[in-house]
Amino acid sequence: MSFPLLSLPHLAFFEVIKGMNPIDIVYLNMAFGKHMQSMMKRHVSLEDIDFFTDLSVARLTCGEFTWIFSKFKFWEDANDVKHLLPLPYTAIDSPRPDGQYWQTEIDNPTKAVMHLLDFLMTNFPRTSGSNFHFLNPNSKDLQLLNGIDLKSYRNGRIVVQNGVDAVTDNFFNENLKNRDVLLVCSAGTNFKQVYLKSLRKNEVLALERKFYVDKQMSLDRQCEYIVLSGLGIYEAHLQNIVQNWMKGVTNNLIFVYVKSIKNMNLNIRRILGKERAERWNDVEMKGFEGLSQFTSYFIEKGAIIRNVNNKIASIHINQEADTFSIVVWSTNPNHRTLKLHQCLPL
């Protein structure tokens, strides 16, 4: 039987393949011989991969395909159990309107999703990563993560609980923070967090912090952005951010954005403490007026503060929009700063 697609020029053939469902591309690649598989590695990439892991659930998504591994079965029983791919897992195929879902009950979801990720990236090395979230890993999980090329991921987060074991602490403190694609941005009483560092200077380095027990923030001195959900955040946290910036501790900070503040009853005077606010001066704010996302800050004209390095910032509490913001201004912002602001994750 002839296969008309194979008579097409190679590049045109591979363009056709790229339009297929990710799992169909995988099946097709498995059916090819070694020569065509080698060609597929050079010319075909899957859609961007996202993966998430926690203690009991792990998930990998590629385009319209999602495979969920879980310690606990949260789906209905079905007879449609399949042995899929050259991996030691069975899955229930559960098609949904938004794509194809496979579900597997397994004791070690993290190991399984790492195995799947390695299989996909080995066969389709041109594939890029979009987002990863690695929550509460143990030392073995972290070793698995260390084998992944995180440079291909645009965004990511690792949350490690302090004091889980010496191996985990050592891995986090020594291995991860020394990799050029990762940055330790904060360490609280209960949790440490690592975020993927931008490899291209015109991208935002957005930091998102969750609080558990500690009321004080321990901020990385190189932190440029803080983007927070108001859940679990108190006025003391915001006061701590302001005080660190005023003292020049976080001198690279250029933007703070907190969503959902309606239950905080924020007060500028309490946040500033002993510091005094200055009057708004339009002249000192020039350089940002051309950016649409800063229009509201020119209209609101928040409280002005100046730190020990003579940098100027404005604090804005917008009850209607339910947000708290700190904007660090520059009379002559460089191209990188303007580019960062254009990419704000709001």
Regions of the chain with pLDDT less than 70: 1-11, 74-84, 150-152, 154-156, 159-165, 167-224, 227-233, 282-293, 330-346
Domain extent listing, the chain: 199-346
What gap in Å lies between CA 138 and CA 121, rounded to an integer?
23
Residue 37 has what pLDDT?
84
Residue 60 has what pLDDT?
92
Say if residues 224 and 340 touch (Cβ distance below 8 Å). Answer: yes
Give the phi and the psi of residue 75 in degrees, each rounded to 5.
-120, 165
Residue 133 has what pLDDT?
78
Residue 193 has what pLDDT?
55
Residue 116 has what pLDDT?
92
Residue 134 has what pLDDT?
79
Say if residues 266 and 235 touch (Cβ distance below 8 Å). Answer: yes
Residue 202 has what pLDDT?
39
110 class by beta-carbon count within 10 Å (0-12 exposed, 13-18 middle, 19+ buried)? buried
What gap in Å lies between CA 50 and CA 243, rounded to an integer?
37
Say if residues 124 and 62 touch (Cβ distance below 8 Å). Answer: no
At what angle are helices 22-31 and 34-43 packed, to 10 degrees? Answer: 150
Residue 284 has what pLDDT?
63
What is the pTM assigned to this prediction?
A: 0.55
Say if residues 203 and 184 touch (Cβ distance below 8 Å). Answer: no
Residue 285 has what pLDDT?
63
Residue 250 has what pLDDT?
80
325 class by beta-carbon count within 10 Å (0-12 exposed, 13-18 middle, 19+ buried)? buried
Q: To which residue do tokens 């990863």 refer? A: 132
